[in-house]
Amino acid sequence: MKININEITKQLGLSRDFEYYGPFSIREIDVDLLVDFKAHLTHTGKGIILEGTIDTSIDLECARCLEIFSLPVHIDVFEEFMEKDRNIPTDEKEPDSGDVYYYYGDDIDVKDAIRQNILASLPMNPICSEDCRGICPQCGGNLNLEPCSCGAGFNLKEE
Ligand SMILES: [Zn+2]
Ligand SMILES: [Zn+2]
């Protein structure tokens, strides 16, 4: 997903807005999302600062009850893009931490930045609701639906 920055690199302090609303796939976690991405790009002289937001929702499996639920995600994005300097050897200009992105020429590719921001926002143990009662450790019944037939799960949630 490329944004043309030709107009704003002509002069310090120039900026432009960019919006994308549409499908976005993340292969690492095998999902196809619908994302709403808004960005404001400013030429700082050193590079391009991207400030924006990502709104989407991701289907995740609840760590407690194992049901699939849709998690709304809102991310505030702040990233820096540096122009690649051809005088520096290739292995020295790659960022260690991945917190700076590089670009050549008139376009910056924001796909990686969006992907990384979404991946970083995902909870380690997604929970469908703070009140999720999970499944009964004895019979495996979903305790959100009803107290399970074995009774063990019902007692568990009262503790
Ligand atoms: Zn749950
Ligand atoms: Zn049970």
pLDDT digits (tens, 9 = 90+) for 16-29: 999 999 999 999 88
Distance 152 CA to ligand 2 centre (A): 5
Task: Let me know whether 70 and 138 are in one domain.
Answer: no
Q: Ligand nearest 133 Cα, by number?
A: 1
Centroid of chain to Cα 97: 17
Name the residue range of residue 107's domain.
Answer: 2-128
Q: How far is the CA of 23 from the centre of ligand 2 (A)?
A: 41
Q: How many structural domains are present in the chain?
A: 2
Q: Are residues 92 and 146 in the same domain?
A: no
The tens digit of pLDDT for each residue in 110-147 reads 999 999 999 999 999 999 999 999 999 888 889 998 88
Q: Are residues 62 and 73 in the same domain?
A: yes
Q: Do residues 78 and 152 both lie within one domain?
A: no
Residue 153 scores a pLDDT above 90: no
Domain check: are 64 and 36 in the same one? yes
Greater model confidence, 85 or 67: 67
Going from the Cα of 89 to the center of ligand 1, the distance in angstroms, rounded, reads 50
Å from CA of 62 to ligand 2 middle: 18
Give the Cα-Cα-Cα angle 98, 104, 107 (nearest 5 degrees). Answer: 95
Confirm if 86 and 128 have CB atoms less than 8 A apart.
no
What is the 117 CA–ligand 1 centroid distance (Å)? 24
pTM for the model: 0.81
What is the tally of helices (H) and strands (E) in the chain?
Answer: 3, 7
Q: Where are the alpha helices (DSSP H) in the chain?
A: 90-93, 111-121, 152-158
